[in-house]
Each structure stands twice: as C-alpha cells, then as structure tokens.
Amino acid sequence: MKSNSIHFTAALQKFAENGDKTGWTYIEIPAELAEQLKAGSKKAFRVKGTLDQHPVSGVTLLPAGGGNYIMAVNASMRKGIAKRQGL
C-alpha cells in the first residue's frame, strides 16, 4: 500500500453554528493536498501522521465542498499540540 505524505501550515478554525458540527475545532485541507492523499476521493477517509510533533492515527477527513476537506481537532489533539483556535 502506497503511503502519501503532505506538509502544510494551517490555523485552527472553529464552527460557530453549523448543524451537528457546531463548536468543532478543525483544520481545512485544500483540495490539491487532499488529492495527494487520496486521489479521486469524494468521500470521507482516514489518515494518520502528526500535527506538529503530536502523533495522530485513524483521524477522518470529511468532505467540505469544492474538493476541500476538514479534519476535526479534538481536545486531546489540541492539548498534544498546545494550541487553540487561530493558532
């Protein structure tokens, strides 16, 4: 199985009011980077790697429209990277 790797910088964002995602902290993965991870995908898929130096595994990337994806960054992940929204 081929392993794809991407490196990029993103600020943590938070959904104000967005249905079941209200209050979620997330990062946005642009379409061109998501394509490098799983070419041709239009559905959610799981990834593993690191945020800063904090390991993550089995995290789901969710389609956000226009080929972009989002990745929820939960409280334990935020604690592991010592960051909050906007950083």
pTM for the model:
0.84
Q: What is the mean pLDDT of residues 58-76?
A: 94
Alpha-carbon radius of gyration of the chain: 13
Q: Is the pLDDT of residue 30 over 80?
A: yes
What does the alpha-carbon distance between residue 53 and residue 5 come to, in Å, rounded to a whole number?
14
Q: Angle at Cα 19 formed by Cα 59 and Cα 63, nearest 5°?
A: 40
Domain ranges of the chain: 28-81
Pairwise pLDDT comparison (1 vs 15), residue with the higher score: 15
- The pLDDT score that the predictor gives to residue 87 is 55
Q: What is the helix, strand, coil percentage profile of the chain, to 5?
A: 20, 35, 45
